[in-house]
Structure 1
């Protein structure tokens, strides 16, 4: 008798033997027990997870006659009747399996439609199973639509596909869809252990773990790999032999690589990569094992103790988790995943592997700087204890970049005068640092230069004078001594590439007083005005008045409140704008006031100029805040120093806004 492969020999014969698809088994079992049968079923999922197996079991459930030949539709087929045995042997006349990968045209669809018109020959139902249904042509799908939607009562359709996205929506809407899920590695390993026990074949737990991971959720792939491993190992399944057969990288290699990366030991990383090359181990397999190890490390870092202590594969991540910071673990994990896609672009796989690993070393560790190769000391830089050049401070580097951007020749009269001057005029350091930013910022009409978004060099230094409470405005157009003198005074001489002698500054001019604020008409506050302002603020906050009604309340003055009469109190409002005195607006405001005060009152709107309205009060408060902000800027010592050093510097009117 010829050998039957494990995948066919141990195919599930009933729902009780199905592994890893409990959600599908439960739904179909309940439907069969309650006789709630659909006319078309669609099973989706990756290869080798049981789509065809479920279809055959469903066909047996529909046509099983029991051991005595009198059975009906059941969720537990007997397995011994003619229908059950012939369906398992794939020779039942009323069960048709069509491979749509090779029978995908409209002619095959028409043949199915013709056969559907005949009743079952021996069974209770006719079952048409179309495998890889997504490969049917559009014409074939359209030909089947009517029969698929309203088939005869004795006909059931079962469609299986690995790519439901390619199915026509009109087909999907006519089917009861079940998504079969990839199986967990532990589920696959348990089933393999049961199968090998029946076959009386010894197997290591490590070998079963490798096979279950290599199957990637497919039970058929797992059983096929097990067949191959049995032949490779001569009837035994040992971890070393299975690893060699699969080309899987030992976790210890991935562990040593991560340890070297955590220690920022580039030499050790290169030695490990060379060892992988000499042993002929797979570069993609190395990155895959590293990704799996890093994933376990991230779990241990996020939830200590969450890993299964009984699993031997979790010992390494528990030891490595403290060696990398959580953010570094996530960074390395992303690099490893991205690196697998880049290996095919590299000159060879091992060169790509080395670059992926060295990429992580290019990032500085937490609290430190990235390792840099030794280089000759730059001119003007101080040598460290070991003779290596010390890196410039961030402030110095920022200042040097500013000089490079601002020292390019500009054909302006101010620069010509600056270049013709040999004696720079001393500038106070604090004022020069502030003027560097302010004066250069006004040298172009196109807006601030790009480096204006960077942090100023004095951001980390203690202020020389009390800082103002409001925002400091931009200074006016720079003078002849502006950019050159300010930049040369603010930047160290060693970092200036093109020093430009500044022009002599003119005599300091007295600081101009703050620009006058537009006068606001005098406000005469009254007790009725206080009451009205408080009431209007409450109505606005409660969203009780909107649009023009709110504008009427803001622009009105409560001039008088007459005693209560037959219609309640009469409130006289003085409003200047004629459009706001419309009767409809007054009625809406009157209704809002009655609701708010829970009292009966009547509004009387008269023409006039209000002397105390909520809008006038808001305008007065805004004017006072503006005046205080301008006074703060005018009195600021740093602003005074800049104004005294640059003759044409001025505070731009309208540039100050209160905080």
Structure 2
């Protein structure tokens, strides 16, 4: 005894039963009610979102005659007339479904279009539905263009594809395009609840949540997974059985991993990953669950009043969201996404998972990693004092900002300490010694009445310590650049270089002929009436050929608009357009390097950091 699978048993037979595609249903309803029917429709979207279903409902709406046989085009097919029943059963003669994946040639399309000249046999319209239309060959597309643009009034085309980018623009422009969107997990869960209720099968909300997420927007995948879960659970859907069937990661594993990250306990992370490996839990699924958990935590942190996909562990997610800083949550989320992309190159997927979690610990600010004997050193104490110097807390935002600044801008070297110069009190010869030295507790804002002000000023000038301004380090010496050779001015070679540049700009020479011109040195030029005579010397035998001479002579005549007689000689060359171009490029490079070396900002940076240097190869002239 067999039973119909849920995906076929609960396929919608009308627009009112469609789930998750309200934007497409509304447009088709209005078009049917107003009589504004197009001759070609294109439905795009991922697998299992309802492309074929919409096509069949549209075909029934166009051919439905009602229970009494007197109906017309309608947005609500009755499902009782002969046309509706035949279309649902797949035996309606005027509704043709063609699989373009197996009938992609021009012969199959031509055979289909030959039947388009005949009017419908049993219905009001002929409907040609071509599934996976992007699989058609180029000649097949070209064969159907004319009929697709101007079909008979009784013919409608319905095209469906999962990859609209492969459909030619000439076909897209002839169709009304509707994009069927992937369905949210909540929509899938609600539909599964109705289906299971109609089937009389026991289930819990957590199992439907797992199936809705595993379907990834496809209702057909969700119903197929539900069939499998019913068989796996002996007619019941429970979270433990569905999770085991899907290989999904238990939320408690993810919670324990995040708790170990919050505590900074590296040993616990290693144990947890080894436990997942022993249980056969997929590392990729664990990373996916970690990313989803961090996403929920970020929503709780930055948008407390927003809706979050709740589950039975909502309180624990809230505690973790309060334990982590928002910037740490965002960083960990990025690390999870990057690890999923890099897992294909990892030698072991569980090793990649472990490295991702340890990377979270390494990038977690102010955390003492509990791996081995690594500990955070105690803060330094102020010199000459039993109290610790005033430093920001390791986990405070000020400390994070200070660490980030130190990582970007290294601290300047400390200035050498200036030794204090002891001040020796000077005693005036005309005054007693005991009266010349003021008491240590006396007010130093003004001199005592028995001290002469002019004499005190002179004493301060004599005894003041000499403080010299620190001299900045000398400017770094510019990197010596080798002198470039200077070519002697020659009108003949200048004219040849200008002519080669003009021929290249005008596109008269290219590839090997351009190489011949660039590597040639002009050794002679004379004018004989209207004929211009040129003598070139070429160093390479492969360039000094008769074929190159003829082609270059023709190009020169086109550029000069006059007859040219060209002679190619074999010999050593010194002053060619290629050499001049190379010297000009080197001269621009030297000018750019000199400009950078003399820049005030660069000079100041080289003075500040003695180990800094310029890399000449990194400088490019504009």
Q: What band does the TM-score fall into relative to the shorter chain? A: 0.5 to 0.7
With the length of structure 2 as denominator, give the TM-score of the two structures: 0.63
* Match of residue 475 from structure 2: 440
* Match of residue 192 from structure 1: 192
* Match of residue 108 from structure 2: 108
Partner of 1:2: helix, strand, or coil? coil
Kept in 1, the 8 Å contact 2:264–2:367? The answer is no
Give the CA deviation at 1:6.
0.5
* Match of residue 144 from structure 1: 144
Distance (whole Å) between structure 1 residues aligned to residue 371 and residue 413 of structure 2: 21
- Does the alignment pair 1:23 with 2:58? no
* Match of residue 535 from structure 2: none
* Match of residue 51 from structure 1: 51
- Structure 1 residues 324, 133: closer, same or farther in 2, change over 3 A? same
Kept in 1, the 8 Å contact 2:328–2:364? The answer is no
Distance (whole Å) between structure 1 residues aligned to residue 607 and residue 71 of structure 2: 84
Give the CA deviation at 1:245.
0.2
* Match of residue 171 from structure 1: 171
Distance (whole Å) between structure 1 residues aligned to residue 96 and residue 353 of structure 2: 50
- Structure 1 residues 246, 368: closer, same or farther in 2, change over 3 A? closer
* Match of residue 159 from structure 1: 159
Distance (whole Å) between structure 1 residues aligned to residue 8 and residue 603 of structure 2: 70
Distance (whole Å) between structure 2 residues aligned to residue 68 and residue 171 of structure 1: 39
Distance (whole Å) between structure 1 residues aligned to residue 309 and residue 336 of structure 2: 26
Partner of 1:144: helix, strand, or coil? helix
Kept in 2, the 8 Å contact 1:362–1:371? The answer is no
- Structure 1 residues 429, 277: closer, same or farther in 2, change over 3 A? farther
Kept in 1, the 8 Å contact 2:77–2:84? The answer is yes
Distance (whole Å) between structure 2 residues aligned to residue 300 and residue 455 of structure 1: 49
* CA distances 1:157-206 after superposition (whole Å, capped 9, x unpaired): 00000011111011111100100011111110111111111111101111
Give the CA deviation at 1:38.
0.4
Kept in 2, the 8 Å contact 1:42–1:178? The answer is yes
Distance (whole Å) between structure 1 residues aligned to residue 607 and residue 262 of structure 2: 32
* Match of residue 276 from structure 1: 276
Give the CA deviation at 1:263.
2.2
- Structure 1 residues 83, 279: closer, same or farther in 2, change over 3 A? same
* CA distances 1:446-467 after superposition (whole Å, capped 9, x unpaired): 347979549959xxxxxxxxxx
Kept in 2, the 8 Å contact 1:441–1:449? The answer is no
* Match of residue 33 from structure 1: 33
Partner of 1:312: helix, strand, or coil? coil
- Structure 1 residues 430, 355: closer, same or farther in 2, change over 3 A? farther
| Matches for 1:639-658 after TM superposition, within 5 Å | none
* CA distances 1:585-621 after superposition (whole Å, capped 9, x unpaired): xxxxxxxxxxxxxxxxxxxxxxxxxxxxxxxxxxxxx
Kept in 2, the 8 Å contact 1:94–1:122? The answer is yes
- Structure 1 residues 375, 8: closer, same or farther in 2, change over 3 A? closer
Give the CA deviation at 1:72.
0.6
Give the CA deviation at 1:306.
1.7
Distance (whole Å) between structure 2 residues aligned to residue 374 and residue 289 of structure 1: 31
Kept in 1, the 8 Å contact 2:52–2:160? The answer is yes
Moved more, 214-223 or 290-299: 290-299
* CA distances 1:19-45 after superposition (whole Å, capped 9, x unpaired): 011111111001101111000000000
* CA distances 1:604-643 after superposition (whole Å, capped 9, x unpaired): xxxxxxxxxxxxxxxxxxxxxxxxxxxxxxxxxxxxxxxx
* Match of residue 356 from structure 1: 356
Partner of 2:104: helix, strand, or coil? coil
Distance (whole Å) between structure 2 residues aligned to residue 337 and residue 53 of structure 1: 35
* CA distances 1:481-532 after superposition (whole Å, capped 9, x unpaired): xxxxxx8xxxxxxxx9xxxxxxxxxxxxxxxxxxxxxxxxxxxxxxxxxxxx
Distance (whole Å) between structure 2 residues aligned to residue 23 and residue 430 of structure 1: 81
- Structure 1 residues 431, 276: closer, same or farther in 2, change over 3 A? farther
Paired residue total: 425
Distance (whole Å) between structure 2 residues aligned to residue 263 and residue 203 of structure 1: 37
Tell me which of the two structures has the higher relative contact order, counting C-alpha pairs closer than 8 angstroms and 6 or more residues apart: 1
* CA distances 1:65-122 after superposition (whole Å, capped 9, x unpaired): 1001111100000101111001001111000000111111111111121011111010
Q: Give the alignment's Cα RMSD to 1 decimal.
A: 3.5
* Match of residue 201 from structure 2: 201
Partner of 2:274: helix, strand, or coil? helix
- Structure 1 residues 198, 364: closer, same or farther in 2, change over 3 A? closer
Give the CA deviation at 1:302.
1.1
Give the CA deviation at 1:318.
1.9
Give the CA deviation at 1:267.
1.3
Give the CA deviation at 1:316.
3.5
* Match of residue 345 from structure 2: 345
| Matches for 1:180-579 after TM superposition, within 5 Å | 180-308=180-308, 311-312=311-312, 314-365=314-365, 398=411, 431-432=469-470, 435-436=472-473, 439-441=474-476, 446-447=597-598, 452-453=604-605
Distance (whole Å) between structure 2 residues aligned to residue 455 and residue 289 of structure 1: 51
Distance (whole Å) between structure 1 residues aligned to residue 414 and residue 104 of structure 2: 67
With the length of structure 1 as denominator, give the TM-score of the two structures: 0.60
Give the CA deviation at 1:374.
6.3
